[in-house]
Structure 1
Amino acid sequence: MYKNSGTRPGVVLAAAAVAQFVVALDMSVVNVGLPAIRSALGFTPLGLSWVVHVYALAFGGALLLGGRACDLYGRRRMFVAGLAVFGLCSLAGGLAQTPWQLIAARAGQGLGAAATAPAALAMLTTAFPEGPRRVRALGVWSAVNAAGGALGVLAGGVLTEYAGWRWVMLVNLPVVALALALVPAGVPAGRPPERRERLDVPGAVLATGGVGLLVLGVVRTEALGWGSPVTWATLAVAVALLAGFARTEARSSAPLLRPGLLLSRWISGANILVFLAAAGQFAAFYFVSLYMQQVLGMGAAATGVAFLPFSAGLVAGTVVAIRITAAHSPRASLVPGALLAAAGLAWFSRIGPDGGFLTDVLGPSLVTSVGAGLVLAPVAAAATTGVARDEAGMASGLLNSSRQLGGCVGLAVLATVAAHRTGADTGAAALNEGYALALAVSAGLFVLAAAVAVWVLPRGRTAALRPRSPAPADDRTEGVPS
């Protein structure tokens, strides 16, 4: 690992964790305030959906580009720039007076997050050597990321109900300011790359366009449906662009995503696993929130408070996962964690229209969240195992892309499953049946994630959990388990 006298790993961890918290928070905090936003700014029902969709589109589409830019132009530089854009667009969104102003601000937030998230993870993997210290650091980062998403529901409900919808945007500003204040205290500027490479512009265009259209096609199924010609045309163009991206990267001397990186069983397996886990976890947040509000009749603030046990379980699961992973391997935590999360979601699928928080939500929330914590903490360690320093941003962008795509695709598919079961009936009993079915399918996704961990990830203790000497500059794959 490159030594820098200005590096303070604890400060790097704090800055990365705070930044990841606000990025995760923003993915859920706005959702609860959507009805108030519609009334205040005069959104149409279709236009209102873009407040959520444009963030996912910009964030997911630009993650690979943001990750590679970190490697080429400096992680701290991209971290600061991304946070600054995110903060300024949060301010613009909080002050928006028309629908287009808010949608533009949300797009800017997504682009800022696409630079910040991979930079934060890349800073951690270069500040902490492979081994127990990195496992602990990535565990904290993962716990904060998960807690940000869960607490966003609470913050959104409380802020919307007691302070007004604008604060679901403005709440980001003090968090961004804290993360930026930590940078000069110990986040190193880093060294320039040993050889100056130009950004892979064709790859960047194809990747951003392909992933962006994939996200767009999936999220628009809520309005258009899966049978719409527009949906299938959008997805077909996305697949064509991604196929072109794969061909371009195979021929490029300085690719945005080096194909050889995916030959590592740790990296490929971890990205498949996080895709499945994100699909299941996002669905749990979404459908349990709807169940509490639309079936049990709970208010926005009460629903947010009801997610606190979920956040506590994520933290508890992460603490246990750090110990297991440091002593054994990521797989030792991933398999039981995925199965435990599946059991919790299967329990959730037994919700009833006459249920209550104590009987239908609290127990499965704790089981699901502890299992998710056992999964989310070690998956970042697995996805960065054996990665060379000059490709840390590349691997980080790939992991964040897999997480974002998993959440978008999984939620869109499961929303369709729930809607098909519910039909035209909007009564509590019909809605309950749809939500229960979607949660049961989510349980199956975690079972599939456990199978991936068993069959793809290597067995036993790995080189990633023991400190090793850096790989030679001309051998980027040394130390990567096959």
Structure 2
Amino acid sequence: MHNSEVLAARSLRQVWPAIAGLAAVFLFEMLDNSILSVALPTIGADLHASTTALQWVTGSYALVFGGFMLVFGAVADRYGRRRIMLAGLVLLGLASAATAAVTTAEQLIAVRVVMGVAAAMTTPGAMALAFRLFDDDGLRVRALNIITTVGVVGLAAGPTAGGLVLRVAPWPVLLLINVPIAALAFAGIKRGIAADAPQELHRDPIDVAGAVLGTAAVLLLLSAPTRFVEDGARSATGWAAAVAGVIAVALFVVRQRRAAYPLLDLGLIARPLVAGGLAYKAAQGLGTASLTYLVSLQLQLDWGWSPARAAIGMLPQVVVLLAGGAVVSPFVRRAGLGTAAWISSASVVTGLAVYAALGTYGYLWVAVALVLVAFGTRMVGVVAVTNVMRGLPAERTTVGAALIDTASQITTGIGIAGVGTVLAARFTGSIAAGNWSAAQTEQFGNAVRIGGFGVTALAAALSLWAFLRARGAEPAADGSR
């Protein structure tokens, strides 16, 4: 299949191998940590791992994944999105297969680091390649919707599937599952997507200093929230990481402004469609992470629900995330991308406000908040990606996709750290101890309102700014936005 034939595709069926391969990439991304979470106690016992080591089993993957996306996005735009993705899938398969030989926690962490690198190589390219399959926005939305729906299924089914697998097989099987997923993705992309055309790439030299500063900034900003959640608002390591991250961001910006061949052209981010899409995605990541974190604590620690009952309590969110895929394409087709973007973000903000104001008064309000935020999340995930891709020149789409994921990862961390810090400041005693006193329950409720309204205000500000920035912005005939 030649590149011109791919771009001329007029139906999803015409490029189904490519869509299947890209969907497998998103399945891996979403399934990975969710399926492994239920196995952490088993892994700890089998490998005699400490609590800190178990945290790094999942944390090392997330840090490397988030930290290296921007670099590999820039590399893919220069040397080929398909080429980098196929290499990443090979690396994923090899790293996952190596799990069978793991005997210590340190070895497993090393495997997870390599898997994080593989994820950074594959995920941004998946969105860029999906976008370029068509030149029609309606088909692009439908393709992205299918691909992300498969990922959401993996996210929702991961814990249940992991628990069932552990009943009949050892825990390494949960990571060995990635081997056939990587093989499916490799076959679909190899067959369904041609190599990048020269005019869709650019040949600027890699800005090594910018890559180092950008990666360091993201790693520091992602690690700081973890320290605040674990050690509280007075965490010295948390503040050190946060301050160092801000300094690294400032140095990165200065470097990009002065470099002859910057890693990231800051002018691209200033484009209305790009800036608006990134802000919408940031608001969604902030809101979803904060709500999920607070509701999980409330159901189990405040209300005393068992883990199984709490999982059932989160079902409204899961159902909407899964079923919402059937609504995305028709809604966007009727309302348009711009209207769909602000309506979905308004749904997230409204859900956060409902929870902050009424969430402690009964489960009905919790369920309403979960449904509203899940609906907005499901919609904005597709719309924001489409808008950012539309706002970028063809040779910069992968770094744009990396920016989307990076913005979501960082605001997810900020959201959890923000509400976690408020809880640490307002709550006396150990929040994880359970059997709270009446005073502790009141303190938790106050923290939910303060943290919840704070997150609501920040998400609303991001959404409003995105709306104003992207309003009326459409791709021009010459490709500029």
TM bucket normalised to smaller: 0.7 to 0.9
> 1:365 — aligned with what?
370
Question: Is the contact between residue 279 and residue 466 of structure 2 (CA under 8 Å) also seen in structure 1?
Answer: no
The answer to whether the Cα contact below 8 Å between 1:256 and 1:394 also exists between their aligned partners in 2 is no
Identity %: 28
Query: What is residue 79 of structure 2 aligned with on the other side?
Result: 73
Matches within 5 A, 1:213-362: 213-294=220-301, 295-299=303-307, 307-348=314-355, 350=358, 362=367
Structure 2 counterpart of 1:187, from 160, 182, 193:
193
Instruction: Give the one of 154, 158, 172 matched to 1:166.
Output: 172
Match 2:408 to one of 398, 403, 406: 403
Residue number in structure 1 paired with 2:387: 382
8 A Cα contact 2:6 2:133, kept in partner: no
| 1:141 alignment counterpart | 147
1:29–1:156 Cα contact (<8 Å) kept? yes
Q: CA deviation at 1:99?
A: 1.2
CA distance in 2, matches of 1:220, 1:230: 7
Does 1:15 find its partner at 2:16? Answer: no
Instruction: Kindly state the Cα deviation for residue 442 of structure 1 after the two structures are TM-superposed.
Output: 4.6
Q: Aligned match of 1:89 in 87, 90, 95?
A: 95
Amino acid at match of 1:228: S
| Partner deviation per Cα, 1:291-322 (whole Å, 9 max, x = no partner) | 4455444346x655665542331244344333
Deviations 1:54-98 (A, max 9, x none): 112101110111111111111111111112222332333454221
| Counterparts in 2 of 1:31 and 1:285: CA distance versus 1, 3 Å | farther
Q: Which runs of 5+ in 1 are unaligned?
A: 472-477
Aligned to 1:4: 4
* Residues in 1 aligned to 2:295 and 2:100: alpha-carbon distance in whole angstroms: 28
**Counterpart of 1:402 in structure 2: which amino acid?**
A
Higher share in helix = 2
- Alignment partners' CA distance in 2, 1:297 and 1:151: 21
Structure 1 6/376 Cα, relative in aligned 2: closer, same or farther at 3 Å? closer
**Equivalents in 2 of 1:80, 1:207: separation in Å?**
24
| Counterpart residue number, 1:479 | 480
Q: How many residues align?
A: 463
Unpaired runs of at least 5, structure 2: 8-13
Alpha carbons 2:348, 2:377 under 8 Å: kept: yes
- Counterpart for residue 184 of structure 2: 178
Shift of 1:412: 2.2
- Would the aligned equivalents of 1:219 and 1:412 in 2 still touch at CA under 8 Å? yes
Helix, strand or coil: the match of 1:14?
helix
How far the C-alpha of 1:195 sits from its partner, in A, is 5.7
- What is the alpha-carbon distance in structure 2 between the residues aligned to residue 41 and residue 422 of structure 1? 35
TM-score between both structures, scaled by the size of structure 2: 0.85
Larger mean Cα displacement after TM superposition, 218-227 or 386-395: 218-227
Return the alpha-carbon distance in structure 2 between the equivalents of residues 391 and 453 of structure 1: 21
Once the two structures are overlaid, the 10-residue window that deviates more, 10-19 or 396-405, is 10-19
1:246-299: per-residue Cα shift (whole Å, max 9, x none)? 122223333221111012121112212212211221233334344445544434
Root mean square deviation, CA, Å:
3.0
Identify if the C-alpha distance between structure 1 residues 222 and 163 changes in structure 2 by more than 3 Å, giving closer, same or farther: farther
Residue 413 (structure 1) aligns with:
418
> Kindly tell me: are residues 439 and 114 of structure 1, through their superposed partners in 2, closer, same or farther at Cα, counting changes over 3 Å?
same
Larger deviation, residues 142-151 vs 247-256: 142-151
In structure 2, the residue matched to 1:391 is 396
Q: How does 1:90-129 map to 2 (within 5 A)?
A: 90-93=96-99, 95-129=101-135
The amino acid across from 2:142 in the alignment is R
- One-letter amino acid of the structure 1 residue matched with residue 372 of structure 2: V
Partner of 2:205: 198
CA distance in 1, matches of 2:133, 2:109: 36
Letter in 2 for 1:379: A
What aligned pairs does 1:441-456 form with structure 2 within 5 A after superposition? 441-456=454-469
Amino acid aligned to 2:306: M
* Aligned mates of 1:232, 1:76 — CA distance in 2: 39
Q: Which amino acid aligns with 1:248?
A: R
Q: Give SS of 1:226's match.
A: coil
Q: Deviations over 1:163-190 (max 9, x none)?
A: 4543432333332222122123312122
Superposed CA deviations along residues 298-348 of structure 1, whole A, max 9, x for unmatched, are: 346x65566554233124434433333334433312222223233334445
CA contact (8 A) 1:317 1:372 kept: no
Answer whether contact 1:151 1:308 (CA < 8 A) is retained. Answer: no
**8 Å Cα contact 2:226/2:238 also seen in 1:** no
**What one-letter code is carried by the residue in structure 2 that aligns with 1:454?**
F
Q: Distance in 1 between matches of 2:296 and 2:179?
A: 26
Match of 2:474 among 439, 463, 467: 463
424-433 or 379-388, larger mean C-alpha shift: 424-433
